[in-house]
Structure 1
């Protein structure tokens, strides 16, 4: 597999202004592929919150030792990691193993940065197909998910009890809206979520959009309009606050943590905060319009193997990736990263150890990658018009239909 230099040059010129020498040098790559003992292999990850004493870094070292090599780990925040990866590939200094946010996989694959699992012989057979799809493009798979997170509805048991709402009755949009009406009538606030004009907002809109049966290739379908009408009606009725227009997922959580809301749309990453909130909470899957669990978008990273000029390094990279994603290590790894496991067998172990994860396991089982359906790098060109549309509708400047019709025109032109 050959790196597309022209593509990389264009992308890197747009997204990278400065390269730190320490991050971009790859002096540990020897010129020959013969022998691995004692050699250093580079792993880049998006987990700067974990220092060298963490369980995560301990696992990286163990996987290196098991493969007979030394692991050198470099950590970046998510956006910086993508930029550094593109520039490193352009310069021929890619890491051996790259752990990257799943929507970025198709961008890097299209730019020629990543090997496919067929090239490196990475075994993906245990991974749920809906999770693996986030790393697929044009019939090829690029890496393997290390775990997944997604969205569900947290609820405040005290608020719902005061409003005489049984959370077990929330099965579809109609029953959820009826519950919100009761919560408001009882003097509390209904639901908070993030509808900010960024990818965070799109991430939170997608369960309702997909839960109506809409498709990202046709934003202004009747189903898409129904999803946006649901959100706008909630604001009009006072079931959701106007602050959702500016809420990130963090500020939305802070609203819920105040104890005044019945429901909040948020993710697995808030579980630790939920336990500190000072009130009893529960979790429900996000309902589809007609009932059942709506497909929520998958978050989480893929473990990938970037293209190397020395193809002899792939065998050891495969060993490192296999170790990081093995069933033996995945339980501890996903617990550390607050993820639900990508493999069903490991997910069952997680739920057995922590029953609070049952709803999350069900949500992940129904989840969908944002770049799935072979959207790949077209997804960001669709997501931005989509968030522009729901911002316009929620602010009242356009109707849901008109907002999504304009979004469809923009997205269609951008993805031709």
Structure 2
């Protein structure tokens, strides 16, 4: 998510593999209808107008490549279906910037060229971030940046509850801190467990932090992660509202100043400064300590398949320009992302030391479609969030809920 949680695009919303006929009009000029010197770029940033640094960068990259850039912005939920339709019509954009979980869907549909095809240099990119754009052993583009999840905490609440944040290193010590805050009459932790991809996104650090794998939803490790959350609700350490919370409503709860902790993302940094209380940030701990792997949000810059292959040379220049070290710093600052390379991350932290914990969290993060899951991921994620909802509402035990989820995921991914 890059600036507001309401514009949060780490989720991808839905990974649509089918395009509904009618109503979707492609507006790419990549077939040459507006002349060979015009190159189209589609992105998911409608919040940025022509006066923004983002759009100015697109124009500058076009000028350096000797072409005119025609940019069109879409909501994330529309961009996938419009891209699939445009590709079907042979009218895809020259450059596409799309949410990372969608890459495998578009790659499987034959919409994207590979990074090797276009000689895009990915050698400096952090491998855990690059993995989100890989499918079938091939890489489809370059990450423009990444965000992920961590724990925000309210310093005053912890101090009043006698909690030293340095003591929070694993699940047991975090739970002990929640017990202290609630015993002191404060509130514990708020998060989003809504029955959508947003809920799965928030649960994954705990799921992966337990040592569980998405190919085995009913493992003992997975059960321990669901049990952690259900126990927090039963003991009053987390609110019952978490079951229906989005990341936005969860943040609003934390912003009241009553909660000790909130799980949320990089995109809330600007809002954190507006809360009126002192806050801090720590990485989400794994069950036995260390940083849990959290899912990555963020987009990839990719080059769709074109009827006229001679266009690829300029497209490559545009992608290279958008992702080079100098522009990467501007881009990630504009989009509230952590850069995908160590060199630019160092510059970000030097300019804003508060980003250090986010760089560490992104370094431990991984893509939801990684582990060779690709387009299987959404078929696993839905049973997972369904199980979460069942366990948190008390309609099933964590074990029973996850046993059902595993059966559903196995059937869907055959």
Category of TM-score, reference length = shorter chain: over 0.9
Change (3 A) 1:329 1:159: same
Which one of the candidate residues 4, 17, 23 is aligned to 1:18? 23
Change (3 A) 1:298 1:11: closer
Question: Which structure shows the higher helix fraction?
Answer: 1
Q: Which contiguous aligned blocks of 4+ residues in structure 1 show a shift greater than 4 angstroms?
A: none
Q: Residues 13-56 of structure 1: CA distance to partner in whole angstroms, max 9, x if unpaired?
A: 4x454113xxx1334532899xx6xx100000000000000000
Please say if residues 144 and 302 of structure 1, whose CA atoms lie closer than 8 Å, have aligned partners that are also in contact. Answer: yes
Change (3 A) 1:43 1:193: same
Q: Residues 253-287 of structure 1: CA distance to partner in whole angstroms, max 9, x if unpaired?
A: 00000000000000000000000000000000000
Please say if residues 31 and 310 of structure 1, whose CA atoms lie closer than 8 Å, have aligned partners that are also in contact. Answer: no
Question: TM-score with structure 1 length normalisation?
Answer: 0.94
Change (3 A) 1:190 1:129: same
Q: Residues 299-318 of structure 1: CA distance to partner in whole angstroms, max 9, x if unpaired?
A: 00000000001111111111
Please say if residues 12 and 87 of structure 1, whose CA atoms lie closer than 8 Å, have aligned partners that are also in contact. Answer: no
Give the structure 2 partner of residue 129 of structure 1: 127
Mapping of residues 328-407 of structure 1, within 5 Å: 328-407=326-405
RMSD between aligned residues? 1.3
Which one of the candidate residues 198, 204, 207 is aligned to 1:206? 204
SS in 1 for 2:116: helix
Matched, 1:44 2:42: yes
Q: Residues 63-89 of structure 1: CA distance to partner in whole angstroms, max 9, x if unpaired?
A: 000000000000001010111001000
Q: Residues 84-140 of structure 1: CA distance to partner in whole angstroms, max 9, x if unpaired?
A: 001000100100000000000000000000000011111111100000000001100
Mapping of residues 10-409 of structure 1, within 5 Å: 11-13=17-19, 15=20, 17-20=22-25, 24-27=26-29, 29-30=31-32, 39-409=37-407
2 CA distance for matches of 1:231 and 1:79? 29
Unaligned runs of 5+ in 2: 1-15
Change (3 A) 1:280 1:17: farther
Change (3 A) 1:87 1:205: same
Aligned residues: 399
Unaligned runs of 5+ in 1: 1-9
Please say if residues 16 and 83 of structure 1, whose CA atoms lie closer than 8 Å, have aligned partners that are also in contact. Answer: no
2 CA distance for matches of 1:360 and 1:27? 38
Please say if residues 16 and 84 of structure 1, whose CA atoms lie closer than 8 Å, have aligned partners that are also in contact. Answer: no
Please say if residues 17 and 105 of structure 2, whose CA atoms lie closer than 8 Å, have aligned partners that are also in contact. Answer: no
Question: TM-score with structure 2 length normalisation?
Answer: 0.95
